[in-house]
Amino acid sequence: MQHLLIPTNKGGKLVLVKDIIRVEASSSYSKIYFSNEQPLLVAKVLQWFEDQLPGELFCRIHRTHLVNRMYVSEVFNRSSLALSNGDIVQISRRKKRFCKFTIQLAVPIKPTRMVGDRNPYF
């Protein structure tokens, strides 16, 4: 999926999925933050975005936040994330273990390989 049609009060807006940094929920509305334009407020719940966006790219880190793992620049004490646009987002206690795993998948790993090792990642 490269594009997502987001319903707005003026019809719909077609956006590139890779340009979405995060989605923040507030009651029955969601605010979408983009890498290249102003945030957009839409009348959709966060679950709608979680269902529409690819799970291998987006991670729900809190009941109010869905983040694009490609924009995670730093993890602080496994309790919050710094995004490439400067935002800092809290990770819920229940999501910490899952988020640690999924965010590590998004970060390029440069393994060191010993002679005779079969799998350089373990």
Tell me which H or E stretch contains 106: helix 96-106
CA distance 69 to 29: 22
| 3-106 placed in CATH 2.40.50.1020 | yes
Domain extents in the chain: 3-106
In whole angstroms, how far apart are CA 53 and each of 3, 99, 115, 121? Answer: 9, 17, 41, 28
Per-residue pLDDT at 2: 92
Q: What is the model's pLDDT at position 17?
A: 95
- What's the pLDDT at 77? 72
In tens digits, what is the pLDDT along the chain, a chain of 122 residues?
699 999 988 899 999 999 999 999 998 999 999 999 999 999 999 999 999 999 889 989 999 999 998 998 887 776 888 898 999 998 888 877 666 655 555 544 333 344 444 444 43
| DSSP β-ladder status, 40-42 and 29-34 | antiparallel
